[in-house]
C-alpha cells in the first residue's frame, strides 16, 4: 500500500541533487577581485606532494589576497576528474586548480576524451619542479648507469623498472631512456610514488624512476644512478646527469596553478602576482626547501610558452613510439 513512497524518496534525491548543482553558480560582477573565498582545488589525494605545497601556500596566500583560501580535493582519474570539473567552473578566479605537467598535456593527447583539452585553461604559473631520478636498491650489484644499461641489454625486459602511472614523468622518462640507450625495460606502473618504494625495497622491481624527495626519505636504502636534469642538482652533487653519461634524458614533473579559459586576464595577472609575492617570502622559501621542493618561476606567459613547447616535444615522442595512431 505504500508503493508510491520509494518513488518519492528517489525523486526527492534527484530534486535536491539538482538544486544543489544549481546553487553552485554564483553572481559575478566586475568588482574588485577577490570578492569571496578562493577555492584551491587539489586534483589528487590529500597528503601527497601537491597537497603539501598547497598547504604551505595557503596561509600566506590568504594574507596577500585578503580572503579565505579553501583547499578542496577532487582526486580521481590521475587528476583528469578535477581538471574536467574546472572547465565547468565559474571563470572568475575564485576557483583555481593545481595542475601537473606533463599530465595535462599527455592525458588528452594519449587517451582521447578525458573531459578537457590542454587549452581549456589559462595558466597562472608554474612554481615547482621535481626531476626524474633513476635508482636501484642499495644492495644491488649495479653501481653506475653504464652497468645498468649493459645489464638491460642482456635481454629484452631483463631489467624491470617501476614508476607512477602512465604518460607521467616516470613513464615518459622510461620511454626516453629506452629510446636513447636502445634498450627495453619492463615498465611496471604503480598508483603513486609511495607505492613504488616497497616494490623496490622488497625486490619486486629492479629499479625505479622516482623523485629526489624519495631518496632523502629512504636514506641509505636506494642508490641513485642518474638524474634527468641539465645540471647536477644542488644537494645531490654526486649524482651524474643522464646527459653527462651520453643519454639525452631530461624531464620531470612541474606543478602550477590554472583557471578556466574565460577568466579575465586582469584576474589571472592578479593571482600570478599574489603567488609571486608569497614565493619570494623567505619563510615560504624555507618551507619549500625543508620539504625538498624546488621552486620555479614561470608567470602566465612563460608558463603557456613552456607548455606549448612541451606539447610539441611530447607529440614527437608519442609519434615515435606509436602512442598516437
Partner 1 sequence: MLLLIVIGTVSGVAVGAMPGLSATMGLALLVPFSFAMDPTAGLVLLGGFYVGAIYGGAFTAILVNAPGTPSSIATALEGYPMTKQGRSEEAIVGATIGSFVGGVLGVVAMVVVGPLLAGFALNFGPQEYFWVAVFGLTIIVTLAEDSLLKGILGVVFGLVLGTIGLAPVGGDVRFTFGMSELQGGVELIPAMIGFFTIPEVIRLIANRHRDVEVYEQRAEKQSQVKATVIAVFSRPLNLVRSSAIGAVVGALPGAGSSVSNLVAYNEARRASRTPERFGKGEVDGVVASETANNATIGGGLVPTLSLGVPGSPPHAIILGALLLHGLRPGPGLFESSGDLVYTFVTALAICAVVMVPVGLIAGRGLQRAVVVMPTRYLAPGIVVLSMVGAYAIRNSIIDVLLMGLLGVVGYLLRTIGIGPATVVLGLILGPIAEEGLVQGLQSSVGMDMPWTSFFSRPISIVLILACVLSVGWSLRRARRGPKRDEVTSGEDGT
CB of 3 to partner 1, least distance (A): 8
CB of 196 to partner 1, least distance (A): 9
CB of 201 to partner 1, least distance (A): 5
Instruction: For partner 1, give the closer residue by CB, 19 or 231.
Output: 19
Instruction: For partner 1, give the closer residue by CB, 5 or 27.
Output: 5
165: left (phi over 0), alpha (psi -120 to 50) or beta: left
Tell me the three-class secondary structure of 44-62, residue by residue. Answer: CCCCCHHHHHHHHHHHHHH
CB of 299 to partner 1, least distance (A): 27
CA neighbor of 71 nearest in space, from 43, 91, 90, 33: 43
Cβ atoms within 10 Å, residue 206: 21
Instruction: For partner 1, give the closer residue by CB, 194 or 264.
Output: 194
| Cα distances (Å, whole numbers) of residue 21 to 18, 37, 89 | 5, 19, 12
Instruction: For partner 1, give the closer residue by CB, 158 or 233.
Output: 158
CB of 56 to partner 1, least distance (A): 7
Decide: 224 and 198 in contact? Cβ < 8 Å.
no
Decide: 125 and 256 in contact? Cβ < 8 Å.
yes
Strand positions, DSSP E, 6-78: 38-42, 69-73
* Residues 6 or more apart whose Cβ sits within 8 Å of residue 164: 170, 171, 189, 190, 191, 192, 193, 195, 196
Decide: 297 and 165 in contact? Cβ < 8 Å.
no
CB of 244 to partner 1, least distance (A): 28
Q: Count CA within 13 A, CB hemisphere, residue 207.
A: 33
Instruction: For partner 1, give the closer residue by CB, 88 or 301.
Output: 88
| Cα distances (Å, whole numbers) of residue 308 to 81, 111, 122, 201, 314 | 22, 19, 13, 38, 10
Instruction: For partner 1, give the closer residue by CB, 52 or 304.
Output: 52
CB of 31 to partner 1, least distance (A): 26
Rg (CA), the chain: 22
Instruction: For partner 1, give the closer residue by CB, 56 or 307.
Output: 56
Decide: 164 and 193 in contact? Cβ < 8 Å.
yes
CB of 120 to partner 1, least distance (A): 12
Whole-number Å distance between alpha carbons of 65 and 197 = 39
CB of 135 to partner 1, least distance (A): 14
Instruction: For partner 1, give the closer residue by CB, 110 or 304.
Output: 110
Instruction: For partner 1, give the closer residue by CB, 73 or 306.
Output: 73
Whole-number Å distance between alpha carbons of 99 and 274 = 18
Amino acid at each position: 500500500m505504500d508503493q508510491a513512497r520509494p518513488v518519492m524518496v528517489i525523486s526527492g534525491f534527484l530534486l535536491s541533487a539538482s538544486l544543489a548543482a544549481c546553487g553552485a553558480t554564483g553572481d559575478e560582477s566586475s568588482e574588485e577581485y577577490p570578492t569571496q573565498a578562493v577555492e584551491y582545488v587539489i586534483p589528487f589525494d590529500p597528503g601527497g606532494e601537491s597537497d603539501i605545497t598547497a598547504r604551505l601556500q595557503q596561509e600566506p596566500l590568504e594574507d596577500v589576497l585578503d580572503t579565505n583560501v579553501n583547499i578542496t580535493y577532487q582526486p580521481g582519474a590521475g587528476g583528469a576528474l578535477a581538471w574536467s570539473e574546472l572547465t565547468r567552473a565559474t571563470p572568475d578566479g575564485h576557483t583555481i586548480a593545481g595542475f601537473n605537467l606533463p599530465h595535462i598535456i599527455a592525458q588528452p593527447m594519449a587517451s582521447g576524451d578525458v573531459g578537457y583539452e590542454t587549452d581549456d585553461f589559462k595558466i597562472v604559473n608554474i612554481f615547482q619542479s621535481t626531476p626524474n631520478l633513476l635508482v636501484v636498491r642499495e644492495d644491488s650489484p649495479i653501481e653506475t648507469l653504464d652497468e645498468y644499461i649493459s645489464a638491460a641489454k642482456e635481454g629484452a625486459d631483463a631489467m624491470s623498472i617501476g614508476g607512477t602511472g602512465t604518460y607521467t614523468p616516470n613513464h615518459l622518462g622510461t620511454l626516453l631512456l629506452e629510446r636513447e640507450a636502445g634498450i627495453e625495460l619492463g615498465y611496471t606502473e604503480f598508483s603513486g610514488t609511495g607505492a613504488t618504494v616497497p616494490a623496490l625495497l622488497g625486490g619486486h622491481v629492479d629499479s625505479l624512476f622516482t623523485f629526489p624527495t624519495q631518496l632523502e626519505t629512504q636514506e641509505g636504502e636506494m642508490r641513485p644512478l642518474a638524474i634527468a636534469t641539465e645540471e647536477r642538482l644542488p644537494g645531490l652533487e654526486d649524482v651524474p646527469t643522464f646527459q653527462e653519461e651520453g643519454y639525452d634524458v631530461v624531464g620531470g614533473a612541474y606543478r602550477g596553478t590554472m583557471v578556466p579559459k574565460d577568466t579575465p586576464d586582469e584576474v589571472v595577472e592578479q593571482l600570478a602576482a599574489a603567488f609571486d609575492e608569497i614565493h619570494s617570502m623567505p619563510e615560504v622559501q624555507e618551507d619549500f626547501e625543508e620539504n625538498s621542493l624546488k621552486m620555479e618561476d614561470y608567470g602566465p606567459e612563460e608558463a603557456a610558452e613552456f607548455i606549448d613547447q612541451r606539447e610539441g616535444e611530447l607529440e614527437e615522442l608519442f609519434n615515435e613510439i606509436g602512442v598516437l595512431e
